[in-house]
């Protein structure tokens, strides 16, 4: 009986069964399992690795079912003959050999007609979760995800004996149950009542924005955007060659001076990004009143409609008498998990028809299985229950954050509204918040410098943003205290 050298990491987030299975499959791939000798018994391998005997037995039996191993009574587990020919296993070449030699590589410099890499994105480190105090915006604490309810819906879908239409290619159609749940349970909370043919499911609001810009904008189209504002919206419209006109922000939201000359206005009236400011009723009325006279269209990004939890919030612009002139973008993943990438567009049926055809050319439709699972999650009442619990948790974190900021950062000004999902901070004019972010990172604190949200040639350097959706509540106060120390040091230098 052979001995195996397998690497099991007890601190890894992946369960032991998955690690053992992957390790055995890798051993099979590289040909390190001999043809005729039995694998270590369940007891011996469990003792060697320090894991449960049942864990080893389950993995062995699963590999037998999948055809990688065979089980011989009173003898043990053996490598399946299909994998016993070492010559049939193609080893991976060294990484240095994976790229084509320079003399045969194509000249991509001449072939690439656009350079999306030239567009500046929002600087967010991929390892943000490794920071002790991640005040990052746009991410959520994964422990808040309703895993038990999500698993329950998944189990029901997979175990049902009924037909499973979500396994089929829907060509260009969306899950009808998800559309109904949006119509009946989600959109009415924002005052929006529409027909099924006026809704299109997208891969998040970013994808929705790209589809709209691709269909409606070209070189010469004039688009008005908020400044400071959403950097990726600027990138999307720029990619289409549109002429951008930046509108400043005040306490009432986007200022309208000069906006009458735009063809489209991209706005976030509920909570503007990055400031969190809510557009006042007077400013909304002024915006809506100018649309028909100037033949304008508003693209309303209501990205956080599900998570601000404000029962006194003003209805969406889409709920107004100018509904036909509003293209509404919403998100279902912003509250649940950014990784779900599920959003939607609400607009006139004629526009939705064309957007649907354009989407078909790109990726046909978002994954049908995910659409249906999310639809069932909403239909079973899990989504509404989760939103209530999530809103309560976020409210507590916001309150804790506000108090911590008042105590540790008394010299900073917060411009965000009371229900926004981040704090937009203005530091002393002498502080460069990019340098502040670097010094804070040395203390395990992650913050977001604000200069990247401005579109001036020389953006102001004194602003920064603090999110609180990804950090545990108990870490907020000590994290802000550490940030306060970094801030005080920056003032004194």
pLDDT value at residue 135? 97
What digits encode the pLDDT tens for the residues 54-73? Answer: 999 999 999 999 899 999 98
| Amino acid 7: pLDDT | 80
One fold for both 16-88 and 128-144+385-492? Answer: no
Question: Span 8-33, mean pLDDT?
Answer: 85
Q: Work out the mean pLDDT of the chain and round it to a whole number.
A: 91
For 472-487, what is the mean pLDDT? 96
Given a contact cutoff of 8 angstroms between Cβ atoms, the answer to whether 256 and 247 are in contact is yes
What is the model's pLDDT at position 87?
45
pLDDT recorded at residue 279: 95
Domain range list for the chain = 16-88, 128-144+385-492, 165-380
The three-state (H, E, C) secondary structure of 218-284, written as one string? CCCCEEEEEECCCHHHHHHHHHCCCEEEEEEEECCEECCCCHHHCCEEEECCCCCCCCCCCCCHHHH
What pLDDT sits at residue 99?
Answer: 65
What are the tens digits of pLDDT across the range 216-250?
999 999 999 999 999 999 999 999 999 999 999 99
Strands 297-301 and 264-267, sheet pairing: parallel
Q: Is CATH 3.90.960.10 correct for 16-88?
A: no
pLDDT band at 305 (very low <50, low <70, confident <90, very high): confident
Can you read off the two tokens belonging to residue 335? 């509250």
Contacts 24+ apart (CB under 8 A), 151-155: 152/382, 153/373, 153/376, 153/377, 153/380, 153/382, 154/373
Residue 274 reports pLDDT greater than 60: yes
Separation of alpha carbons 247 and 269, rounded Å? 13
Which region among 77-86, 95-104, 368-377 has the lowest average model confidence (pLDDT)?
Answer: 95-104
pTM of the entire predicted model: 0.86
Report strand pairing: 222-227 vs 445-446.
Answer: unpaired
3-class DSSP assignment, residue 336 = helix
What value, to the nearest 5°, has the Cα angle with vertex 92 and ends 87 and 93?
A: 110
Please report which confidence band the pLDDT of residue 1 belongs to, taking 50, 70 and 90 as the band edges: low
What would the pLDDT profile of 158-204 be if each residue is shown by its tens digit?
Answer: 887 778 888 889 999 999 999 999 999 999 999 999 999 999 999 99
pLDDT grade, residue 82 (50/70/90)?
confident
* Measured distance CA(57)–CA(487) in Å, rounded: 56
Enter the CATH code of domain 128-144+385-492. 3.90.1150.10
**165-380: which CATH number, 2.140.10.30, 3.30.420.40, 3.40.640.10, 3.40.50.10420?**
3.40.640.10
Please give the Cα distance from 68 to 90 (Å, whole number): 17
> Cα separations (Å) of 294 from 213, 275, 287, 475?
20, 28, 11, 50
């Amino acid at each position: 009986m052979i001995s195996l050298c397998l690497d099991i990491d007890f601190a890894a987030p992946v369960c032991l069964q998955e690690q053992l299975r992957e390790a055995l499959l890798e051993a099979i791939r590289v040909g390190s399992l001999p043809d005729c000798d039995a694998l270590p018994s369940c007891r011996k391998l469990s003792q060697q690795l320090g894991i449960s005997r049942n864990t080893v037995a389950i993995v062995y039996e699963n590999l037998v079912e999948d055809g990688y191993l065979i089980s011989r009574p009173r003898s043990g587990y053996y490598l399946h003959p299909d994998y016993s020919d070492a010559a049939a296993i193609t080893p991976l070449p060294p990484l240095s050999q994976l790229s084509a030699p320079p003399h045969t590589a194509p000249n991509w410099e001449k072939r690439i007609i656009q350079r999306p890499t030239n567009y500046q994105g929002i600087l967010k480190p991929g390892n943000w979760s490794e920071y002790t105090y991640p005040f990052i915006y746009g991410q959520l604490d994964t422990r808040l995800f309703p895993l038990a309810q999500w698993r329950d819906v998944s189990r029901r879908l997979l175990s049902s004996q009924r037909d499973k239409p979500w396994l089929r290619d829907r060509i260009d159609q969306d899950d009808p149950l998800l559309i109904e749940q949006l119509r009946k349970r989600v959109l009415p909370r924002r005052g929006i009542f529409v027909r099924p043919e006026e809704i299109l499911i997208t891969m998040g609001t970013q994808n929705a924005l790209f589809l709209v810009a691709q269909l409606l904008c070209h070189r010469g189209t004039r688009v008005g955007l908020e400044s400071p504002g959403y950097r990726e919206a600027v990138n999307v419209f720029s990619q289409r060659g549109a002429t951008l006109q930046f509108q400043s922000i005040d306490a009432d939201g986007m200022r309208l001076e000069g906006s009458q000359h735009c063809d489209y206005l991209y706005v976030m009236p509920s909570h503007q990004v990055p400031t969190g400011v809510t557009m006042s009723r007077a400013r909304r009325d002024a915006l809506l009143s100018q649309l028909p006279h100037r033949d304008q269209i508003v693209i309303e990004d209501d990205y956080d409609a599900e998570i601000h939890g404000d029962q006194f919030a003003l209805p969406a612009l889409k709920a107004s008498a100018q509904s036909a002139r509003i293209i509404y973008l919403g998100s279902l993943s912003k509250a649940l998990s950014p990784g779900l990438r599920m959003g939607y567009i609400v607009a006139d049926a004629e526009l939705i028809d064309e957007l649907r055809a354009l989407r078909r050319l790109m990726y046909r439709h978002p994954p049908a299985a995910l659409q249906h699972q999310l639809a069932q999650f909403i239909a079973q009442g899990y989504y509404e229950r989760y939103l209530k619990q999530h809103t309560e948790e976020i409210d507590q974190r916001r309150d804790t954050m506000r108090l911590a900021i008042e105590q540790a950062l008394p010299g900073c000004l917060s411009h965000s509204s009371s229900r926004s999902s981040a704090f937009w901070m203005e530091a002393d004019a002498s502080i460069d918040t990019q340098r502040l972010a670097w010094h804070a990172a040395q203390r395990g604190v992650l913050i977001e410098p604000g200069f990247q949200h401005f579109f001036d040639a020389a953006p102001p350097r004194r602003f920064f943003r603090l999110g609180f959706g990804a950090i545990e509540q108990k870490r907020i106060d000590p994290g802000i205290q550490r940030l306060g120390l970094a801030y005080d040091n920056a003032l004194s230098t």
